[in-house]
Structure 1
Amino acid sequence: MTPDHDLVGRRCAYLGRVLLPLVDQEPWRRSRRREDPRDRGVDPAVGERLIEIFAVPAAHAVALDASVSPAEFDGLPLLAVAGALTGKRDAGLLAGLPDTFTDVREEQAVDLFRRCAHASHRTRLRVFRLSGEVRHALVVLAERPPARSATCGDVFRGAAEAGLAP
Structure 2
Amino acid sequence: MSSSPDAVWRRCAHLGRVVLPLIDQEPGRQARRHDKLRTWGIDPGVGERLLETFAALAAHAALSGAASPAAGTAPLSAVAAAVTGKRDIELLAGLPERFTDDRDQQAVSLYACKGGRFSRMLFQLSRELRRTLTALADRSPTPSPTCADLMRQADDAGLPD
Q: Same fold (TM over 0.5)?
A: yes
Aligned partner of residue 134 in structure 2, secondary structure:
helix
- Maintained 8 Å contact 2:3/2:69: no
Q: CA deviation at 1:14?
A: 0.4
The within-5 A match list for 1:1-166 is 4-70=4-70, 73-116=71-114, 119-120=115-116, 122-166=117-161
How big is the shift at 1:103? 2.4
**Which residue identity does 2:100 align to in structure 1?**
T
Shift in alpha-carbon separation, 1:22–1:79, aligned structure 2, 3 A: same
Across the two proteins, how many residue pairs are aligned to each other?
Answer: 160
SS at match of 1:85: helix
- Mapped partners of 1:67, 1:14: distance in 2: 21
- How far apart, CA to CA, are the structure 2 residues paired with 1:91 and 1:129? 19
Q: Which moved more, 1:134-143 or 1:87-96?
A: 87-96
Amino acid of the residue matched to residue 72 of structure 2?
A: D
* Unpaired runs of at least 5, structure 2: none
Structure 1 runs (4+) greater than 3 angstroms displaced? none
Q: Give the conservation status (yes or no) of the 8 Å contact 1:42–1:127.
A: no
**TM-aligned CA deviation for residue 22 of structure 1:** 0.2
**Deviation for aligned residue 1:78:** 0.3
Deviation at 1:89, TM superposition (A): 1.7
Query: Partner letter of residue 140 of structure 1?
Result: A
Q: Which blocks of at least 5 consecutive residues in structure 1 are unaligned?
A: none
1:77 & 1:25 partners in 2: Cα distance?
Answer: 21
User: For structure 1, which segment, 104-113 or 53-62, has the greater mean C-alpha deviation from structure 2 after superposition?
Assistant: 104-113
Q: Which moved more, 1:90-99 or 1:73-82?
A: 90-99
2-structure distance, mates of 1:153, 1:16: 12
* Range moving further from structure 2, 11-20 or 146-155: 146-155
